[in-house]
Structure 1
Amino acid sequence: MKKATIVFCLLLTTLSSFSQKKSDKLPILNNQNDSLSYALGVLIGSDLKFAGFPDLNYELFKISLKNALKGDSLIMSKENATKILQDFSTAQVLKQSKANEQIAIDFLLKNKSAEGVVTTESGLQYKVVSTGNGSKPAAGQKVKVHYTGKLLDGKIFDSSVQRGEPAVFGINEVIPGWTEALQMMSIGSKWILYIPPALGYGEYGTQGIPGNSVLVFEVELLGIE
């Protein structure tokens, strides 16, 4: 069975309940098909919630699902439907990004005067935790580092420390904030980096990192490869 068909069948099953009165009574799963239907509903529903979909017109949703499954006439082509969803998704990303932009401006302005924080000409902010005695890497070289990356809310989005293995990469292969900071660090140094969106993942962000996010990294430069 095609993946799309599975998803449509699932949504048809789970959304049919929206036309009924809300009940606090949990369903009883009597067989494997019941369990499969409920399990898929949990996953798809969670994905829709995470994607930020608003309250939908579930009756229209159910009608379009039925018509699509039966091959009946539709008032919207698949191409148009895809574009509508893409436009909505883009608008949601930009909305969150705009909110994050002001959060970033406010944080960096306040953090600029925090004890021990240095702001460079590019807008990168850093705080020296400890200074090593080794040499400094140059552009084009590879470095070995341990790091933990967080958002302003404290959420960790990446960590070599948690993986238990240092990361090795070229200085010019990472985001601009890292490229700049690494060339100022001596081997053995530990810094905290506060990377503005423009030196990180910009307006659109990347997986696990919303657009216009300030990135906070705890970085230890272990060596030059």
Structure 2
Amino acid sequence: MIGMYDFHCHSTLSDGDMLPIEMIRRMSVLGYSTVAISDHVDATNLSDVTGAVNRLKQSASLFGVRLLCGVEITHVPPEEIHSIAREAKELGADIVLVHGETVVEPVAPGTNRAAVSCKDVDILAHPGLISREDAQTAAENGVYLEITSRNGHNRTNGHVVRTGRECGCELIVQSDAHEPRDLLDREARWLVARGAGLTEDEALRVLSPERSLFHRF
């Protein structure tokens, strides 16, 4: 059976409950083949987080998991997102997420726009009530919009799907896991996708690991 992916998981390197290797082991048992640990970063911890995750890649491979070094740029002023995303890639991050304008946190207005306009950003996480203009920019620049299972952030999944579909955006289903119970098995991933409003065919495509985002790594 083809393994699963999740590029949005948090460990003890930021506000998660699991050591990075514990997360990898648990996800291996659930059937994941490609995982990114994408802890919260700003200018103060970017170097430490990328260095730590990259040191774990060999250990992850022994559990049959391809580990990607991710970061989630979080609550950073929109004007600084471009430079921090560029620095993250230079420090060895394989994948860069930006903590989008979720409706349950005071994310600075303009964060979504800065993220989707940045060539070094791969995923806009929980983008809230993303505007059509920003979704169109995401589509043009190949920035994926996240459908999330995270409580609170998931309130706008339906809007993200509708707007993303209208604008031709790539969508991605992720857990934003912080503790073991947040990790999704195969059935839960399917329910998140379908519950957000994806058709069966759309859900199958979005959940497949053989997608264009993987070609970046």
Range class of TM-score, shorter chain: under 0.3
Structure 2 length-normalised TM: 0.23
Q: Computing the radius of gyration over CA atoms, which structure comes out larger, 1 or 2?
A: 1
